[in-house]
Amino acid sequence: GAVVSQHPSRVICKSGTSVKIECRSLDFQATTMFWYRQFPKQSLMLMATSNEGSKATYEQGVEKDKFLINHASLTLSTLTVTSAHPEDSSFYICSARDPALSGAEAFFGQGTRLTVV
Amino acid sequence: DQQVKQNSPSLSVQEGRISILNCDYTNSMFDYFLWYKKYPAEGPTFLISISSIKDKNEDGRFTVFLNKSAKHLSLHIVPSQPGDSAVYFCAASDRGSRLTFGEGTQLTVNP
């Protein structure tokens, strides 16, 4: 299947700082990428849909000013957690769909474990 | 409003037996369903999918069944292997847009 690479895999930052997470589609171009968040023992919650060349679409309850999304190219989307606080500690996962595939399969990155201290 | 539900948080089966993971959905607009496998601290891995125009899709040891009238799908793994132990998420898509995930089921296959 298609490959999606996410970096870093884990990051620890101080409260009040910002953290950037990158999501790359390695062997296909993705006009749309998705950012999820997963709390322990819970499902993946969609945070936002990242659209290449336009503004991201945020889910209800997700602060767009706190979770900045940039999708400047067809292979890269970034999520920046601004002014991080301990409650932002979570597992963040990106995914992308290969438009060449007829189905709705989305391929996921490895995830980023963010710990805010 | 939980549109995709996996009512069993955990399932334990013996190696070699069949594992059956269930998923229910409420949104009749969903037209594509997928199963993902996830290990701790890793992203989900795509396993198998099914279009709403079909009622069965098989890929090796994995078979997904879809009952549209009941809004229910299931994943069968046979024979189950210890390496299948993971959290399994079902997901549904509406016209190829974003995925809605269930809560996941922890499958444990005992040797």
pLDDT digits (tens, 9 = 90+) for A71-90: 888 899 999 999 999 999 99
Parallel, antiparallel, or unpaired for β B56-59 and B99-101? unpaired
How many residues are recorded in chain A? Answer: 117
Using CA atoms, how far residue A96 sits from A24, A27, A30, A73, A93, in Å, is 9, 11, 6, 13, 10
Name chain A contacts of B29, Cβ cutoff 8 Å.
none
**Residue of A33, A44, A93 for testing the chain B interface, max B β-carbons within 10 Å:** A44
What would the two tokens of residue A46 be? Answer: 């969609």
Query: Within 10 Å of residue A31's Cβ, how many Cβ atoms?
Result: 15
A42 interfacial to chain B (CB closer than 8 Å): yes
Sign for the CA dihedral angle at B32, B71, B40, B38 comes to negative
Transcribe A41-81 into DSSP letters: TS-EEEEEEEETTS--EEPTT--TTTEEEEEEETTEEEEEE
Mean of per-residue pLDDT scores for chain B:
94
Best probe of the B interface among A10, A36, A43, by most B CBs < 10 A, is A43
> For B47-92, what is each residue's pLDDT tens digit?
999 999 999 999 999 999 999 999 999 999 999 999 999 999 999 9
Å between A42 CA and nearest CA of chain B: 6
